[in-house]
Structure 1
């Protein structure tokens, strides 16, 4: 999806078995999960409509954080239509305080922005968490990692299994005549917070190599381009810079890209400006490497919510209020600086 910031980084998908015919069951009882079941199918059979989120909330101790994965043989409590539980199941239910009032979903693999291996689970994760704490301190919330990012917008948000997903880029919805069908889908079905962060993806080359002043992406065709593993290649795709037009090298770190650049084994490093400048300083390459000032791509990182979610306006207001407070106090700048430094330090260690 073009409007997805990290559309091209590799993610481990969460497998969901194709639903089979769920055995008849009724609300206000229990149900033992069969092979091929999904919460949506169970909900439809029990209630005649999609009430899967209520089932998930009442069974989180059994299901866990991911409503897409239910274990065969699990016995699920099916809430009554009035929201209560079967009388013999009430003691086993989760208390309301255990259920987050706002649920966010993101994914691993987009360094340094969202990944459970990073401090604070990534720079963007930390920004969203802090915005909620500053903008709505009275609200409980949870941030869950589900690595099938396409499922976020195709099923999890539309079905309100989660309230919000990040990071996404809002398309230019004001110019609908120029949008692709996928971008139009995003505009019609989702609403977005204000941008939490903007990525300026640029191109770095050895000073004097001839790439630093070109003004057309076509001049990069035939080049060997280095982009660290796990980083989005969306801006390369958008500008026609994917194999076979170029040769793409993806080592483990940004540092290795610049080291290869200085060994003449690659022609260009494609990297966001902040990270590139930091790595250049670490390796004392400030005067040996130049960034092309003409060719770059800007992408914003926002939180997306489905339009049909009745809480979407309130959640966006909470996030935007918290973001404004962070910008005013300098907390935003501190989180960004620390997040980028932590990623650089991790690369140096590795």
Structure 2
């Protein structure tokens, strides 16, 4: 049983707004992939990239949607391999009915807490979490459905709270809540290279399996010295703009920190204005809103996407390492998430959630 309690809300942060997904995204790729049909399977050939395939097939929602449809096959948007078979969504965004058979999830005997689990998110994070979206947003639906599948006997109290920072700073550490979402997780195997605010996400919290992979893009002006960069090391010495509400642990992991680069932290749109003015060399953040921002400023034709540098940042449920009930519930949640992916329900929830956000 899930109980949902509404609380006060703040205006969405720049990070929340940056994750709003729009239709029609196509990341660059100057050469078309082989002609293919929607609602089909496609075998990767040499020279293919997801952006080329999305453009050639006309996938609604482009690069990100194609990656979402094949997250069980592709571990990275840049690591497609010759011979891999991927799924091309249908014109209505659904997946072909005859999906490849998947292995069944391992049996799990879940641990049921003797009290309701207290789970928190915040509003204004469309399409992932928002009180005004159906089911509280697509990420909320995924989390609650995964818990239901993983352990139907576990009672849950679910809340919207108006302060994102309080989730990690006080609510989880104090035990006031058991789980918080959605949060980006750094590479905790390399915690020694992270700054203290980013390392904290590893040292003080445990995490669910990844619920969603967001694509993080890098962009420069056509003809700039960085046009054609194929490795993050090619950006050493560059002036890079990362919007001020965004995490930086992905850049830290690639060595893109001062003084190796010059970092500018301003609003998303100001990053693009600085790029146009020649005050920065590269802009980097979530590929979906980045593409939208370029279109809104009518600069898409002047900007190139450094596709080889595109990375993923995974969104998770976080629990405090000191909370035994929450940690005991994580295996059941992960098992439920696996079932969502195996049955195709994950993609259906994501697709419907994106569409609902666009219509809201």
Could you say which TM-score interval applies, normalised by the shorter chain?
0.5 to 0.7
Is the counterpart of residue 319 in structure 1 residue 337 in structure 2? no
In 1, Cα distance between the equivalents of 2:119 and 2:199? 23
Tell me the CA shift for residue 219 of structure 1.
Answer: 7.0
Tell me the CA shift for residue 245 of structure 1.
Answer: 5.3
In 1, Cα distance between the equivalents of 2:287 and 2:197? 28
The change in CA–CA distance for 1:233 and 1:111 in structure 2 (over 3 A counts) is farther
Is the counterpart of residue 134 in structure 1 residue 149 in structure 2? yes
Report the TM-score when normalising by structure 1.
0.53
Q: Which residue does 1:150 correspond to in 2?
A: 165
Q: Which residue does 1:272 correspond to in 2?
A: 286
Q: Which has the higher contact order (CA 8 A, sep 6+)?
A: 2
In 1, Cα distance between the equivalents of 2:180 and 2:147? 14
The change in CA–CA distance for 1:134 and 1:10 in structure 2 (over 3 A counts) is closer
In 2, Cα distance between the equivalents of 1:245 and 1:130? 43
Q: Which residue does 2:314 correspond to in 1?
A: 300
The change in CA–CA distance for 1:317 and 1:105 in structure 2 (over 3 A counts) is same
Tell me the CA shift for residue 329 of structure 1.
Answer: 0.5
In 2, Cα distance between the equivalents of 1:246 and 1:196? 30
Is the counterpart of residue 217 in structure 1 residue 235 in structure 2? yes
Tell me the CA shift for residue 201 of structure 1.
Answer: 0.8
Greater Rg, structure 1 or structure 2? Answer: 1
The change in CA–CA distance for 1:251 and 1:288 in structure 2 (over 3 A counts) is closer
In 1, Cα distance between the equivalents of 2:200 and 2:263? 31
Is the counterpart of residue 164 in structure 1 residue 179 in structure 2? yes
| 1:132 aligned counterpart, secondary structure | helix
Contact 1:8 / 1:234 at 8 angstroms: preserved in 2? Answer: no
1:52-71 mapped onto 2 (5 Å cutoff): none
Unpaired stretches in structure 2, ≥5 consecutive residues = 1-11, 18-113
In 2, Cα distance between the equivalents of 1:10 and 1:332? 21
1:1-350 mapped onto 2 (5 Å cutoff): 9=15, 101-204=116-219, 212-214=227-229, 215=231, 216-217=234-235, 221=239, 232=246, 234=248, 239=256, 250=267, 270-273=284-287, 290-346=304-360
Unpaired stretches in structure 1, ≥5 consecutive residues = 1-5, 12-98
Q: What is the total number of aligned residue pairs between the two structures?
A: 246
The change in CA–CA distance for 1:245 and 1:121 in structure 2 (over 3 A counts) is farther
Contact 2:186 / 2:249 at 8 angstroms: preserved in 1? Answer: no
Contact 1:165 / 1:304 at 8 angstroms: preserved in 2? Answer: yes
Tell me the CA shift for residue 129 of structure 1.
Answer: 1.7
In 2, Cα distance between the equivalents of 1:297 and 1:123? 22
